[in-house]
Every structure is written in C-alpha cells, then in structure tokens.
C-alpha cells in the first residue's frame, strides 16, 4: 500500500508576500516593530478652511494619537495657517509631564 501525505508549509501569507517582493529585487529592512522607537511629526492645518467642526475633529484626533504614542518614542506638532508654528523647537520624548502638557494644549 502506498501512503502519500503532502508536506504542509508553516509559511504564512506574509511570508509569501515577502518572498514575492524579494524575487522582484525589492529589499525590505528587517525591523522589529515591537521594539522600534520612532519619531512622530504631526501636521495640523489651521487655515480658514479648517474652521468650526473640522479643527475640532483634528484636535480630538491629535489628542488620541498623542495618547497612543509607543513607549520611548519622540514627537512634535507643527501647525500651519498663514504661518507655521512648532510645539517644541525639537521633538520631545512622549512621556510624563511633556506629553500631558501637550495633550492639554491640544484639547
């Protein structure tokens, strides 16, 4: 009696996608997203077209993003209308007093 059991693969769809990219010569960096720290620059439009509910929604969204910053990441907020302003001269670590003051400033 002949018994045939096909070999199954443990590769995921993501692995197949990465293999396809590599076959086309695309090289992706090996990034550990769980331990990667980042710098997040938020751009906020303060021009006249954002008056009323639009700017309110932008501020609410920004507050949510600030509360969701990954641990040990840095951030800054740049807003623009007829001129631009930055919240900080350079990005700050998103934790403690700096983060809570930024959220208060946005809300």
| Pick from 78, 2, 8, 70: nearest CA to 44 | 78
Mean pLDDT of 28-37: 65
Output the pLDDT for position 101. Answer: 93
Output the pLDDT for position 38. Answer: 85
CA-to-CA separations, 17 to 22, 27, 32, 34, 106, in angstroms, rounded: 9, 12, 18, 21, 40
Residues 6+ apart with CB under 8 A from 69: 40, 75, 94, 99
- Whether the pLDDT of residue 99 is over 80: the answer is yes
Mean pLDDT of 63-88: 92
| pTM of the predicted protein model | 0.64
Q: Which residue has the higher pLDDT, 10 or 22?
A: 22
CA-to-CA separations, 90 to 7, 15, 54, 84, in angstroms, rounded: 55, 38, 27, 14
């Amino acid at each position: 009696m002949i018994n045939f059991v096909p070999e199954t693969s443990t590769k995921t769809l993501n692995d197949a996608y990465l293999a396809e990219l590599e076959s086309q010569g695309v090289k992706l960096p090996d990034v550990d997203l769980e331990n990667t720290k980042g710098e997040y620059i938020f751009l906020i439009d303060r021009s006249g077209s954002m008056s009323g509910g639009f700017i309110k929604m932008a501020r609410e969204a920004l507050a949510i993003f600030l509360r969701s910053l990954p641990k040990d990441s840095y951030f800054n907020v740049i807003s623009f209308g007829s001129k631009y302003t930055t919240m900080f001269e350079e990005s700050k670590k998103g934790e403690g007093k700096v983060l809570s003051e930024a959220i208060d400033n946005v809300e």
